[in-house]
Amino acid sequence: MATTHHQILIVGGGAAGITVAAELRAQDNHDILNIAIVEPSPVHYYQPAFTLVGAGAYDLKKTRRDESTLIPDGVTWIRDSVSTFAPDSNSVVLASGNTVTYDYLVVCPGLILNWDGVKGLRENLGKNGVCSNYSPDTVEYTWETLKNVGAGAKLLFTQPPMPIKCPGAPQKIAYLAADSLRRRGIRHTCEVRFLTQTPAIFGVPFYARELVKIAAGHDIIVQYQHNLVEIDGAAKTATFEIVGGDKQGTRITLPFDMLHVTPPQTTPSQLKASPLANAAGMTDVHANSLQHVKYKNVFGLGDAASTANSKTAAAVRKQAPVVVRNILHLLAGGAVEEAYDGYASCPLTTAYGKTLMAEFIYGGKPTPTLPLNPAKENHINWLIKTTGLPILYWDWMLKGRIAFPKHNTDFVDPGA
Ligand SMILES: Cc1cc2nc3c(=O)[nH]c(=O)nc-3n(C[C@H](O)[C@H](O)[C@H](O)COP(=O)(O)OP(=O)(O)OC[C@H]3O[C@@H](n4cnc5c(N)ncnc54)[C@H](O)[C@@H]3O)c2cc1C
CA–CA distance, 7 with 86 (Å, rounded to integer): 16
**Is 80 exceeded by the pLDDT of residue 82?**
yes
Determine whether 108 is an active site residue.
no
**Residues linked to residue 374 through DSSP beta bridges, in sequence order:** none
Please tell me the residue having the least CA distance from ligand 1 atom 52: 47
Question: Is 405 exposed, middle or buried, given 0-12, 13-18 or 19+ CB atoms closer than 10 A?
Answer: exposed
**Structure confidence at residue 416 (pLDDT):** 62
Q: Which backbone phi and psi does 117 adopt, to 5 degrees?
A: -75, -10
**Which pLDDT belongs to residue 404?**
74
Q: Does 185 have pLDDT greater than 70?
A: yes
For residue 413, pLDDT beyond 80? no
CB of 160 shorter than 6 A to ligand 1: no
Q: Which of these, 316, 318, 416, 342, lies nearest to 375 by C-alpha position? A: 416
Per-residue pLDDT, 415:
65
Confidence at residue 412, expressed as pLDDT on a 0 to 100 scale: 85
Q: What residue ranges define each of the domains in the chain, with the CATH number in brackets?
A: 3-111+267-343 (3.50.50.60), 113-265 (3.50.50.60)
Strand partners for 77: 37
Q: Which atom of ligand 1 approaches the CA of 45 most closely?
A: 29
Q: Is 225 left (phi over 0), alpha (psi -120 to 50) or beta?
A: left
Q: Is 133 in the pocket of ligand 1 (CB under 6 A)?
A: yes
Are 106 and 52 spatial neighbours (Cβ–Cβ below 8 Å)? no
Ligand 1: residue whose CA is nearest its atom 17: 47
Q: Is 346 a catalytic residue?
A: yes
Give, in order, the Cα–Cα distances in Å from 288 to each of 163, 308, 360, 400, 413: 19, 10, 15, 21, 23
pLDDT in tens, 115-124: 999 999 999 9
